[in-house]
């Protein structure tokens, strides 16, 4: 039976009773940008022969450990949202086999067939669509950013593949997990799941725009020799140019693609997510949820044309180092009983995403390489990553000598 929480006093008591157990409030930052936002979507190809029920069982087991992935969004107050732990918070959908191989299948058709989650009250926030092919299985994952960032999602995929392969894996941090028992989504009181028409105009606008965005993708691969060459050139110019692979790759992509992805901008804002797991002393390395904040580095188009790759990389490094430290991390965030919370000062410094001037560069090369996570060539591969904000660069490491990036744009590549 549903709990009747129609009056404010009962509603407040109900929430307080379930916080941390079956309800986890979103942070101030996530409340600001997540509702109505596009999900993270990843297509991966599992090359090994696998019994579909086995993959389903291992997925369900992984969700039991990473239980944030079995939640639905609820609205707990005006412009305030939370995750509700549900027995049916994750959707697993297996489609009929397609008589094609991975080399011939059309990913655009897969996008149309898969389940896409919506970050709206009452909606499931995580879905996996399985599509068997002649030579393996495509797993099309759709995940709300209110549940997890890209790091959390890859850690979850790693756990899933480990369970499938019968291998050990690290359990997720308990800093943001449900501790109670899930409920059926049908048991959520309607006061917590208003219709889209009852939400803010901003959320309604995001939802309408999300369905009309066309994106285009291309890939770039980086050899160890190329990265070493840029580092040697940088150091020979100035000893201070000590730059990382991530900074070199991002700078190369910015120089090569900025005219294509942002053709009408006179200046470009490079948005770089910074991982609090690496710098905040109170945040666990295996924290599940959103543990990112955004750094902003500005360039004019003339600067991008005139500066070398390593000069751009050095400016990016200096900009990132000004915020990628423990002092700044503790200034803008802290660990609450329900996970990471951000301060009002962080929100005051946040710049809303502008699709006409901004590009997001997400670095996932610092994770274990995909091959060691059972997502390498022998087991399969990541085919496509779609992030909430476009245009974007997404950087991966498949193995030590194979770094690559996916470039996504609203405009066709020429």
State pLDDT tens for residues 268-299. 999 999 999 999 999 999 999 999 999 999 99
- The dihedral over CA atoms of 121, 124, 125, 127, expressed in degrees to the nearest 10, equals -160
Mean confidence (pLDDT) of the chain: 89
Which pLDDT score, from 0 to 100, does residue 156 have? 93
Q: Residue 25 pLDDT > 70, yes or no?
A: yes
The span from the CA of 123 to the CA of 117, in Å, is 7
Q: What is the mean pLDDT of residues 318-335?
A: 95
pLDDT over 80 at 368, yes or no: no
Q: Tell whether the model's pLDDT for residue 64 goes beyond 70.
A: yes
In angstroms, rounded to a whole number, what is the distance separating the alpha carbons of residues 26 and 35? 10
How many percent of the chain have pLDDT more than 90? 67
Give the C-alpha separation, 227 to 335, whole Å. 37
Cis peptide bond N-terminal to 114, omega within 30: no
Strand partners, 409: 216
Largest Cα span, the chain: 72
For residue 61, what pLDDT is reported? Answer: 96
* Whether residue 85 has pLDDT greater than 90: yes
- Whether residue 362 is predicted with pLDDT greater than 60 in this model: the reply is yes
> What is the pLDDT at residue 376?
54
Strand, coil or helix: 301: helix
Q: How far apart are CA 12 and CA 289, in angstroms?
A: 24
The model's confidence at residue 350, banded by pLDDT at 50, 70 and 90, is confident
Q: Which residue has the higher pLDDT, 369 or 299?
A: 299
Query: Which two structure tokens, joined as six digits, stand for 242?
Result: 């000590």
pLDDT of residue 52: 82
pTM above 0.85, yes or no: yes
Tell me what the mean pLDDT of segment 333-339 comes to: 96
Name the band, by pLDDT with cuts 50, 70 and 90, for residue 161.
confident
Q: For position 400, what pLDDT does the model report?
A: 55
Percent of the chain, pLDDT > 70? 93
CATH fit for domain 216-409, picks 3.30.559.10, 2.40.50.140, 1.10.10.10, 1.10.730.10: 3.30.559.10
**pLDDT number for residue 384:** 83
- Owner of token pair 């006179």: 266
pLDDT tens digits for 401-410? 678 899 999 8
Residues of the chain with CATH 3.30.559.10: 8-210, 216-409
pLDDT score of 26: 97
Residue range 15-41: average pLDDT?
Answer: 94
Q: What's the pLDDT at 1?
A: 34
pLDDT digits 0-9 by tens, 39-56: 999 998 887 666 788 889
Query: Is pLDDT of 372 > 80?
Result: no
211-224 pLDDT, tens digit each: 667 788 899 999 98
DSSP state of 368: P
Superfamily for domain range 8-210: Chloramphenicol acetyltransferase-like domain (3.30.559.10)
- What residues have CB less than 8 Å from 393, skipping those under 6 apart? 249, 250, 253, 254, 359, 360, 361, 362, 405, 406, 407
């Amino acid at each position: 039976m549903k709990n009747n929480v129609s009056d404010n006093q009962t509603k407040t008591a109900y929430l307080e009773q379930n916080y941390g157990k079956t309800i986890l409030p979103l942070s101030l930052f996530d409340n600001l940008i997540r509702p109505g936002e596009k999900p993270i979507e990843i297509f991966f190809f599992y090359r090994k022969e696998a019994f579909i029920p086995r993959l389903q069982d291992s997925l369900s087991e992984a969700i039991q450990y990473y239980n944030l992935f079995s939640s639905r969004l609820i609205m707990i107050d005006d412009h305030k949202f939370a995750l509700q732990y549900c027995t049916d918070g994750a959707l697993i959908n297996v489609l009929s086999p397609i008589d094609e191989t991975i080399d011939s299948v059309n990913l655009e058709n897969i996008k149309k067939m898969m389940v896409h989650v919506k970050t709206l009250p009452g909606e499931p926030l995580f879905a996996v669509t399985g599509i068997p092919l002649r030579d393996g299985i495509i797993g099309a994952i759709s995940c709300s950013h209110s549940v997890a960032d890209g790091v959390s999602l890859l850690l979850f995929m790693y756990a899933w593949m480990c369970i499938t392969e019968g291998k050990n894996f690290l359990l997720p941090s308990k800093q943001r997990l449900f501790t109670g028992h899930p409920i059926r989504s049908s048991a959520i009181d309607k006061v917590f799941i208003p219709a889209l028409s009852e939400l803010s105009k901003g959320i309604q606008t995001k939802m309408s725009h999300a369905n009309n965005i066309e994106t285009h993708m291309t890939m770039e691969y980086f050899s160890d020799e190329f990265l070493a060459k840029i580092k040697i050139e940088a150091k020979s110019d100035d000893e201070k140019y000590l730059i990382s692979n991530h900074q070199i790759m991002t700078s190369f992509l910015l120089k090569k693609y900025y005219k294509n992805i942002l053709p009408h901008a006179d200046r470009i804002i490079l948005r770089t997510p910074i991982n609090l797991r690496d710098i905040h002393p109170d945040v666990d390395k295996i924290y599940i949820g959103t543990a990112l904040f955004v750094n902003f580095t500005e360039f004019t188009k003339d600067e991008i044309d005139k500066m070398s790759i390593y000069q751009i990389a050095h400016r990016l490094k200096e900009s990132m180092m000004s915020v990628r430290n423990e002092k700044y991390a503790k200034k803008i965030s802290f660990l609450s009983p329900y996970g990471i919370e951000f301060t009002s000062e962080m929100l005051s410094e946040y710049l809303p995403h502008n699709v006409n001037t901004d590009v997001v560069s997400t670095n996932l090369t610092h994770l274990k390489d995909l091959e060691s996570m059972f997502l390498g060539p022998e087991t399969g591969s990541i085919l496509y990553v779609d992030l909430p904000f476009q245009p974007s660069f997404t950087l991966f490491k498949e193995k030590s000598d194979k770094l690559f990036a996916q470039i996504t744009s609203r405009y066709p590549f020429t």
